[in-house]
Amino acid sequence: MQELKARILAEGQVIGCNEVLKVDSFLNHQIDPQFIMRMGKELAGRFQAAGVTKVLTVEASGIAVAMAVALHLGVPVVFAKKKHAVTQQGGLYSAEIYSFTRRETVHITVESRYLDARDVVLVVDDFLAHGEALHGLTELIKQAGAKLAGAGIVIEKRFQHGGDQLRADGVTIEALAAIEKMEPGHIVFAE
């Protein structure tokens, strides 16, 4: 998606050891709602024929894009919670994921009443880097006995190889912008 690539180049900042891309001016701190809706429409279009019944993401920065995708597909959004809430009653699906940006391990959970074997689930997230969130979310889908339609990702950092194993297993992963390498002042997108 050319508009996304242009925004990344204009507003993105590579920080740390060339592993973190800060795009919080439009995606995951301050949100540009019209832009989010355009990205959601694009991702929804890529999975239109997959028979998606639910969109699944993890809180918090994936929710805006997931909502936009789900709106265009006409299905509900389910988001995995990173902390168990007292309102979560009954059966839970859970998985452990490590957040590299937060440098902590969290247990994500979804109430079993929101995912079941009848569902065809599209995972949507803002980033795919090491693949921790994506693997955790696919684990929740397996626990539910649901079918994985694929993953719609806003920005994939391919050099961190998070999607390699899932792609090798036949999972469709669609990224609106895929980055091959990056360093401060220089980002190389995949073709």
What does the pLDDT look like over 63-102, one tens digit per residue? 999 999 999 999 999 999 987 666 767 789 999 998 777 7
For 127-146, what is the mean pLDDT? 96
Q: Are strands 120-128 and 147-157 parallel, antiparallel or unpaired?
A: parallel
pLDDT at 186: 92
Of the candidates 38, 48, 41, the one whose C-alpha atom is nearest the C-alpha of residue 120 is: 48
Position 45 scores a pLDDT of 98
Tokens, residue 74: 């006409």
The first and second tokens of residue 105, run together, are: 């391990």
Residue 107, Ramachandran bin (φ over 0: left; ψ between -120 and 50: alpha; else beta) = beta
Letter for the amino acid at 86?
V
Tell me if the domain spanning 36-180 has CATH number 3.40.50.2020: yes
Strand residues in the chain grouped as ranges (E)? 13-15, 20-22, 54-58, 77-80, 92-99, 104-111, 120-128, 147-157, 173-183, 186-189
Q: What pLDDT, on a 0 to 100 scale, did the predictor assign at position 90?
A: 75
Cis ω on the peptide bond leading into residue 85 (within 30° of 0)?
no
- 9 to each of 24, 119, 152, how far by Cα in Å? 13, 37, 21
Q: Residue 39's CB: how many other CB atoms inside 10 A? A: 27
Contact between residue 14 and residue 41 where contact means Cβ atoms under 8 Å apart: no
pLDDT tens-place string over residues 171-180? 999 999 999 9
Place of tokens 């709602």: 33
Q: Domain residues of the chain, as ranges? A: 36-180
What are the pLDDT digits (tens) for 91-135?
Answer: 899 999 987 777 889 999 999 999 999 999 999 999 999 999 999
Nearest to 14 by CA among 186, 184, 190, 189: 184
Q: How many helices (H) and strands (E) does the chain have?
A: 5, 10
pLDDT at 49: 97
Average pLDDT over every residue of 46-73: 96
Q: What percent of the chain has pLDDT over 70?
A: 97
Predicted confidence at residue 86, as pLDDT, reads 67
